[in-house]
Amino acid sequence: MATKVTCGDSRIGATALATYRFDTATSPLVELLDVSNPVKPYLACTLMPASGAHFLSDTKLAFWSGSELGTADLASGVITRTARLAAIVGTGAFSPDGAKFAYRHWDDAGGMSLHLYSAGSDRTLYVREPIGGHGGTGLSFGPFDQVAFSADGSLLLDRYAFGMQSLTVFKSDGSVAFLSATATNGTWSPVGKTLYFLSLNQLGPTPSGDLHSWNADGEQAVALNLNGFFWPRTSPDGTGIVYNASDNSIPGCGGVPHLWRLDLNTRRATQISQSISSGPFFIQPTVVWSDEQKLSPCGPGGPSTEDGVLLAHDLRTGRDATVDTTLLLPGTGGQSSPLPSTYFLLDTWFAPAGSTAGPATAI
């Protein structure tokens, strides 16, 4: 493969690492960020060309580029091609162990197909005709495109909100295990194969509903009457779900998003930050990054929009801090580049218990 991995002052075995995708003018790349200090991340390695990557360990990544899959050894720099797929990858996801890969492919006419690659076989799960032009809600109200494996790798979550609202869970053989036309915004438990999702009872630009769970025992309600459940992320310890929901502070335009946490033991939801932000992503076991927003004229995203600033929220202290992104790839925040956003985060690696790596920095 033509892909190369380049590491500078990387700390193999760091307490927290993250992958971040970035499109340059010449080629897509994946950055490996050391986020041991959650408010001062720095660029440790680059993988180029590559469109996405998943941690297999603190020194090894599985990645995709075009229609190829491969692995990258960060310590030796060795790149190994592991598979050639039937089509070019648009968006994709590896199973936790890297043995399976699911991806979307878009043809020249705008049609989309979902594929599952496993054990040398590339299976097409379905094909959708072109949807055509349409509007849509703002970035705060995602996720809009979900392809994600359960923690044990046996199930695949699929949801594509543009033109088809249903949420589907596929088995490894391609058969359907669960299908719902009212389910949205799913997140897997960090162990096993329990899925949490919002079951809609009110449609519209800011849908609300009840939190449900689904597993081999069936579907059940977990929490009722949530006023929004966007970009949900189950905590690494499985005790709660962090998400964003909008208030009603702006008459005639809904409100602005804040971070919330739902405790899966008490089944109570609590706002955890006064900052206006959306898109939480666990960067450490107890720290999430989110996209800060500023007030703006009412639009598809409500009365606020992302301003290119990342915020770090510490679940232990309740504090928010601005993330210093100056040590990332030069030009990340430039006029010709997308502003920093949790939307481009792909995966995180947390040092296992008992690791010799030092403690992560608190905010």
The arithmetic mean of pLDDT across residues 53-75, rounded, is 95
> What pLDDT score does 13 carry?
55
Q: Is the pLDDT of residue 12 over 50?
A: yes
DSSP letter assigned to residue 340: P
Q: Is the pLDDT of residue 23 over 80?
A: no
* CB within 8 Å of 166: residues ≥ 6 apart: 159, 179, 180, 181, 183
Q: With the C-alpha atoms ordered 159, 161, 167, 173, is the resulting torsion angle positive or negative?
A: negative
> What pLDDT score does 330 carry?
56
Lowest mean pLDDT among 91-100, 119-128, 200-209, 266-275: 200-209
> What pLDDT score does 334 carry?
42
Q: What is the pLDDT of residues 51-60, one digit of tens each?
A: 999 999 988 9
> What pLDDT score does 14 carry?
64
Identify which of 80, 81, 21 has the alpha carbon closest to the alpha carbon of residue 54: 21
Give the Cα separation of 263 and 265 in Å (integer). Answer: 5
Q: How many CB atoms lie within 10 A of CB 230?
A: 24
Identify which of 286, 334, 283 has the alpha carbon closest to the alpha carbon of residue 39: 283
> What pLDDT score does 335 carry?
42
* CB within 8 Å of 347: residues ≥ 6 apart: 18, 19, 53, 54, 55
Locate 209 and state its tokens. Answer: 């509903």
φ, ψ of residue 65 in degrees (nearest 5): -150, 115
> What pLDDT score does 337 carry?
67
Q: What is the pLDDT of residues 167-211, one digit of tens each?
A: 999 999 999 999 999 899 999 999 999 999 999 886 555 667 999
Locate 342 and state its tokens. Answer: 């949790």
Lowest mean pLDDT among 122-126, 205-209, 287-291, 319-323: 205-209
The arithmetic mean of pLDDT across residues 40-65, rounded, is 94
Burial of 167 (0-12, 13-18, 19+ CB in 10 A): buried
Whether the CB-CB separation of 274 and 227 falls below 8 Å is answered with no
Residue type present at position 285:
P
Lowest mean pLDDT among 45-59, 190-204, 218-232, 268-282: 190-204
Q: What is the three-class DSSP state of 342?
A: helix
Give the Cα separation of 289 and 345 in Å (integer). Answer: 10
Best-predicted range by mean pLDDT among 23-37, 49-63, 161-175?
49-63
CATH homologous superfamily of 134-320 equals TolB, C-terminal domain (2.120.10.30)
> What pLDDT score does 333 carry?
43
> What pLDDT score does 186 carry?
97
Identify which of 41, 44, 36 has the alpha carbon closest to the alpha carbon of residue 9: 44
Identify which of 151, 187, 184 has the alpha carbon closest to the alpha carbon of residue 167: 184
Q: Give domain limits for the chain.
A: 1-84+323-353, 88-132, 134-320
> What pLDDT score does 139 carry?
82
Which region holds residue 25: left if phi is over 0, alpha if psi is between -120 and 50, else beta? Answer: alpha
Q: pLDDT over 70 for what percent of the chain? A: 87
Whether the CB-CB separation of 49 and 56 falls below 8 Å is answered with no
Q: Is the pLDDT of residue 235 over 70?
A: yes
Q: Is the pLDDT of residue 102 over 90?
A: yes
> What pLDDT score does 136 carry?
59
